[in-house]
Each structure stands twice: as structure tokens, then as C-alpha cells.
Chains A and B, each alone.
Chain A
């Protein structure tokens, strides 16, 4: 039917189906893609628009309902280049990270400020509960909205003329990020915003059973559905190789599915052939003229399954009578892993005065980025080149894996472009079947094809996180010295391995369990197990979070058992500042730090000494107050290629960079990092600006395209970007500087030693008027005819940086909670963090990462869990059922830092992206256990729901 409506002042008239959702109308018909698709169930608010001046979620309306209405989208609020005051405030307050949910939040904030020009912090947080943000922790958004309310009242929308920051002061300056404006205006392109001419759309049918044989697939009805071009099944894709696994430890026997290359083991097939092993296993793909028609046809594919028994628990899966997932994997056991000396540790435990054991289940989580995943593929038959658009953290490694191990094509025939990411939390760090599948389909059909997942699809198609059962033992003396720590673990990695499956359960957890402490004997062993569940891979904080949780919970239990202050026990056992470099006994060499200092500062900021008084005061209000500490040290900066190779990763992990100083003076920096919300365009520009003494604005950082200045790079994961990729950028800048000096020396006919490089210029130290700018040098070098002997023309270089060691950020977090004794409801009332990231380039950017890490940790501690039923069906596949923490559950985080430079890289940087997620969940659970201390509660499993707490109170 015909609708006419006004959007951003323009009249639109279209013929639409009544079932067309307003969100899809705005995006697909009108082409305004700043309004984002997140959940399509009215929960996340990414699609918020103003309808006749009021904020509404456009996924919860039909387009026909909006007939004759006036709509404003994110694209309609700025006046030309001049941003709306709310947008400006978001930029100035670092309220944007990956920016996917930002347009929706801004539209909602505008409605708030229209209704309530002077909202309180509480008003803002409650209002924001209508919008989810997975990574910002909401804090800077709240600040931005407050700032916007002042701007709007003062009618002061004039942008302040800011003093430019001089290049020599770049490092350590909180410069507004370069990435933000396009995101704030809704102009930045994410995968779902990209349209190619002649593009077809793909829908993937997931297995509905967790374990079954495929007897037959009937696609005859689906093929005849409107708009359907073709339906593919495993028969069509059987020539493609299964996905590879590229982390294969050589020190133990391992059992994986096979891979025909014979070089690496295998994982799942692009489309299942004869068997499905989890709810989500891809079974068929429909290609149609629109996304709607492709998904419409899915129901018409008839798959005849023979249902098999299901196992979802790691400990049950290795029992002799458990259902077997893979023929080549007896008892579903992929491999074991051990770190440390078992005998010595057992002996130390036996001889200790105090021994405590505890079982933990570090529960399975869903990354649930607000953007789902999507893939676009295109094949050019004239050149034989494939192009893939997908949000992938390790762009170049995935390029290699797809070309060499799945499609069997030359590396240079595949180009990968990553659009903006709507968050990752680690889940976009793998190779998924959809990427090669779409490349294959695009070649078969000779047309570009696009697949964008749904929210419930995401819960089935995208790797999940954590899921480890741990049996931990801590031992020590009555006066507080920890003598031994051991852990026997069972890691549930789902039905198939992700590309780096052993990394998290083995290396990242196993070597990390001693935490911030000097523990003489520690031992870790793990069984890595397949079950009929979605794949598990690293999730933000990966490995370090599972390790820190058990360590910090055990230290806490130990302190309580001997009746000592848990802070004191930590201090007694912490690695001391004079012990660095410190070998933790399980394979990590801690680089530098002052762990007790961070603890002390945190105790002071949290007013720890007055906690007793606060408990009494809370008790009068009927609340049980508890305080919990989480201290941590987290390996970061992958890094140290030789060690990674020894761990089993079939790849070096060095950083790479390329710098080209243009003849016109602009500096192009290509990085091997793969930004997905961390603002490397800004921070890497700061590094180059400082090193080369040129204005920040002259520098452009390029990434996200394998056809750019570098040939291979590792991408961004595990908090490596600044210390490894940033150091490569730094190294390249120094090479540029050196070449500039050498060339200037030749031009001025003086020795290099007579020259000074400063402020982007080279001059003769004794005669500063004899001077060439970097721009002049570049111009001359690119057109060079008179060069010193042996020098190549041009001013460009590539550089690689492989750190000699990992780096180890550290710190202490403290949570204060209040528990409602009658209902078990927990309020997080105070949260203090003290972190040490070494030298920091842009403090506000890093602060934003801290907020995100705290938010995810709170989510794990209190709310989040991927729930499966006994048949392997996932029950928490929407945002209505999977609880992502909302703005109103958080207090204002009080974040502090200390600075201990890392000796492992020239920037002195340590990782920051995910390193301080690990202390969050244990701090909160420690706090809850403290609050419940009068009930003698030793442990509570995560998520600590009101019901679990209530049961503990009532059973004890």
C-alpha cells in the first residue's frame, strides 16, 4: 500500500507491503542507514528515531503505521556541518566507542532533554535503560547528556576554539577522537549499510537440533518461493575444505576433526554434510533478491533429521557413555593441558596448615554485540579476484586461512575489507563458515551477495565465551602466606573448535592462575571438551578473566578462613616492586609494576577502613553491605612471536606498520591493528605526531583493507594494539626521521650529526635558517634525482615490531554492594578501579575501555548467562531473555591509574583493551559473599541472581 511521510523535512511516498517494519523502510527504501538494527525486539534502542517529536523504536512499528507522520533520524539533527549540541557533547565527552548504538542513544537523549531540560544523573540513567550499550559502560554518555543539557540551556552551541595541542605534548593528551564525527552523524558505514549494485541476499538455515544425522534435505519448495534465486546445501559446497584450526600445541596429543590439507586440523564445514552437532550448525543457504525474501524461504526447506542424544556439559561429555560428536575425537576430549609441577604442588598442599577447595563454573556468556554479524562477497570473473566485506579482527590471517585452507586460491586473489564494527568483545576474531560460503556463492552466481544475521541467529552462529568448570585448591599458613594453588578444569568449547580454540583454556588461563601473587607452587590442568553447543572462543578478558576469578575467589576464601583482612592477605602475597622481572612459575615473566601500591590507593579511594561503619549504617536500612576486592595482573601485548609459536599458534604475532609521507606532506600510516572501537586512528596519529613533530591533523591512519600499505598484519585482540602495533608505527616513524636526516645532510652537504630534527623540520643546528620541512623533504625525495649513494627514492617505510616479552598491566578494583536480605536483590553502590596500563597515549580513550570492561564484568557477575536446555536448545537468544546490563544498574565508576612503564616496548605501553575485565566479576562476587558473611556463605555461582542469593540466605 501507498504511504507518504516526512523524514528530516523531506517528503517520501512509496508503495510498501504492510508487513514492512519502519526501521527497514528507513534503511532500505529511504537509504538513511544511521538508524541501526540491533535486536528487532524493542530492547536495544539502536533504531530509535523521533516520530512526531517523540523517541520511538523503529523496529517496533510498521512503516504503514507511520503514514502521514513526521520523522527525524540521526541524519536530520545537524545543521549542515554543524553538529547538534547533543552530538557535540558526545564528542567532547568521549561518549562514542564503536558508535553503533550512538545514533539511537542521541535520538533518545534529544527526547529526554525536550521533556526534561535539567535531568539528574538518575533521570538520565533511567531514561537510558531504553538503550543498550555493550561497551561504553554508559558513564561518558551520561556525562555527555548532562553537558548537552547545559549547552542547550545556555543556547551556547558555539564550538569553543580549542588551543591546538603541540606535537611534543601529544602522548598523554586526551584528544577528541578522529573517528567520532562520522559515527555521531550516522554516516559511518557498518556491514549492513553497504549496498553493491546487483547484490543478492542470503539467509542461512541453522540446524534446529543440537545433534542429528541429516537424512535428506528437500529444497524443491524453497526454490520456487518468490524472489529465490538458488538454494545451496552441503552437497553444493562439498568441494570446499572445512575451516582450519591454527593453534595446535605440539607438546600433547590432540584430537580434532580432520582437514584435507594435512597441515592443520579442521573444524566445521561451510554447510553441514551428513551430521549437525549444535543448534546453529549451518545446513543450507537461500539466495534471493531481498533479505526479506531470502529469510521468508527458510521455512520451506525441509530437512529430514535423525535426532541423536545430546550432551551440553563438559564433565558429562567425557564420560564413557556420553554421545560422541566427532568420529576422530574419542570421548569428545580434544586435549589435555598442564602447567606447573603437580607433585610439588600436591606436596605443598598436603603440608599446609590451611587448605580450601572450591568448585566454580565460570559460566558461558554471549558476546551479544549490538550489531550482529554480516558478510558481503563479490567475485570478479575478469580478474579472478574475490572481495570480502566482513567485521574481522585478524583481517590478514583470515585472508590467508580462507584462501589457503578453505577455498584453495592464491592469497592475492582475496581482498578483505572490514567496515566499521558494531562492537566485537572478541566474537569477531574468528573465521566463520559464512565468509567462505558467501565467496563461493558469489562466484557461482556471478553476483555480489550479502548476509546479515538476525539477533536469534547470532546466539547460534557466533562463538560464545567462557564456560569452564574449575576445581580449585588453595593452601597456606595461618599467618596468611599462600603456599600453593592448584586448579583442575574442564573447558567446554562447543561442538567445533574456533581457529585458536586451545589458546584460551590452555595458555591464557593456565599460565595466569598465580595472579598478582608470589605463589611458590601452582599447578593447572585442563581437559578441553566438545559438547553439542555453540563454539566457544575468547571473549573480552579471555582466559585472564577465568583465571583471575578463581584466584581472587580463593584468596578471599583463604583470608576469611584464617580470619585475616583480605586486603592484608593480598598485600602479604603480592609480587613486590623489587622482584621484576618476575617469573610466575607457570610461564609468564611479569615485566614491571607496583602491585601493593595500586591496592593501597584503591583501598584508600574506596574508604575501605570505614567499611564497618558503612555496614552498620546499611543494616539500619535493612541492607547487607559488602565490600569485595579484585586484584589482577593480565598478560597483554601478543606479542613475542617465538613464545606464541611454542604455545602452538601457527603464526608469528609481531606488529606491522607502513608510513608514507606524501609529496604534499600528508602522512599516511597503515597499521596491522584492526580498530573496532578503540580509536587507533587517533592514538596512532598521536604517536606519529609526537615522533615526527607534525600536526595531528596532517596524519591519516589506514586500516581495515588488505589492499593497503601492508601485506600481512595481526589485527587487534588481547590488548595488543598499542604496545605491539603502536610500537611498529613508532619504529616506522623513527626510520622516516632517520632517512629525512640523511637526505637533508646530503642536501646541505653537512654530516648528519650537524643536523637537528625538530617540529617536523630538519635544520643545521648551528644555522637554523638552513632548514627543510618534512613536507619539502618528502616532495624532494619522491621526485628525487640527487640522492646520497645507496638511498632509495621516496619517503616511506614498513616496519615490524616483535616485542621481546609480553606486557603485564595490573591493578586492583573494589566493589561495594548492598544486598536486600529478603529478596536477594543486589545493588552495586560503589565501584573503584586503580589500573596501571604503563604509558598511556590518550587517557580518555583508555578510560572508556575501563568502563566497558567494568560493565561486562558486572554483567557476568550479576546478570548474564547463555542458558541451554537439556536438548541443547539455547533459551537466551534475544535481548528480552539475555540480560545485558543497563545504565541504571551502575554507580558512577571511580577510575584511577598509576603509571609503570613497560620495559618491553619503546612506548612503555601496556595493554588496556580487555585487561581489567578480569578483576571485576571476582570483586563483585567477593563483595556479595562479604555482605552474606553472617550467613556463612562461601561461594555463589555467577550470575549471582537474586534467587541464588535468596536461597543461600535461606538455606544457611
Chain B
């Protein structure tokens, strides 16, 4: 009896652990967010949002999805329980990506056309600070303690560190051509910046504000004519780092202990952005030109599925 109960418990537990997650994918062509069930890997819903949705973010309480709708010039607020747009945040023109503060109270948005980085209060629904930066700001990040925001400028080839309390630009770091995504390491000590044209990832010491490592991914793929590092994801223990490589149709894995490239995963075409599952057993990549999501099993280090969404997947986030 006890054995049976235990078996039942284990099976219940493993069923629950199986894939209690939902994958959200912005589609810049179809103007929807695709909702994929983590267990069945089926598209179970499509949420209509404003025109040209790209950057996505989930609130810390996992109840709200924010969607940067570039051509609608706003950030839509989606209630994840009802899967409906319940309102929007003012973002300034053409928001492409944004980052949420760790406490969920603010977002930082790059306003590409105006060379500004805006910090917006979510409750207040208005702009708290605007900071001028280099031309064509793109990627943004909040440090884990919420004390630093970072932004890349695509044509100035710069990474800007900004104090979110004052809106002051506190440091400007030059990196390679066309920087895209910035991500702080889980401990906040390092800031990684991917450069799409240069084909490298720059690792910046967040305290010293200088580059400490350059991961030359293009040089590691000499036969590949186009290597476009964009999306960056870390495991919480900072043992594994993943980088989406765009039209190289790969995701690179880097060991943050020595900054060596460990392996490449063959994913769909134009893999801009990537996301880890909450249990860190899976990595998902949004493939814009093949219109699908690649599912990587991180225990087996293998692609285990491809979920066709159609359209042009751009960003991917994972929620409960």
C-alpha cells in the first residue's frame, strides 16, 4: 500500500513537474503573442496585441505579460489569467525592447528614434526619467539589485550605465559593431553585451565599468558567413550561458567560469531571442525566419522539438 501510494505520489509529482510552464512568443508579423503549452508543445492560444510586437517581459508575480508594440508606440499589458490586453504603458515612439525592474515597479525602454532611454513607473503609467544616449538605443537591462540600468546603442557601438533613481548616465563603454542585448549576471557583477555585426559578446565588470572578456563567436564559426549574437540567457547559478546567433541558426553555450564556447545547438533560422524554462531543464529559441520555436533539452544537450508558429517569432519568455 505504501509502495502504491508512493508510486502514485511520485507519478503525480512528476506529472506536475513535467511541464507546468507556458511559453509566450511575440510575432512581429502576425501582431499576436503565441501561447504554447510547455507539456504538449502545442500552440493553445494567440493573444492579439498592438502592431509589431517584439520585446516581452513577465512581472515578478508572474501574473502580467508586457509586450512592446513598436508600430503602436506603446507597451501592452496582458493579464495572463484571461490572456487579454487590459491596458498599456506610454513608452515613447517605437519601443523595441524593455526591461522590468526586479521589484516590478518600473520598466526601462529604449526609444530608438530619439536616442533616449526612458524609465517608466508602471503604477504611475508615466515617464520618470529620460536619459540621452548614443544613436539608436536597443537593448536594456536592470541589475538584480535594481540599482543600475544598462542600455546598448546600436550605431554608436556603446553600452550606457544609467542610475535609475536619477536618470544620470554614469558610464559609457565602447564595444563592437551593433550591440543588441545586455544582461547582468545573476550576482550582478558582470554585464554581457552581444554585438550583432561584430559577432562577439563583451563581458563588462559592472563595478569597474570596463571590458574584462570578449567572446569571439564569429571566429569560432569560421565557415559561417553570418554570425549574429543577440539573445543572452544565464542559469541562476551562472554555470551556463546561452547566446542566440540569429541567421547562423545556432545557439552557443559558453562556460562563464572560463568564457569558453562549449557547444553549439542547431536551431531554426534567425534565432534572435532565447529563454530558459523556470526549472532550467529547457531552452527555447524564437526563430524569426523559419517561423518556429526550437526546444533544447539541457540535460541531454539536444534539440528535442520544434514548435511551428508561423509568422515571425521575435522574443520568447516562459511563465507558469
**A, B bound:** no
* Chain B positions near chain A (C-beta within 8 angstroms): none
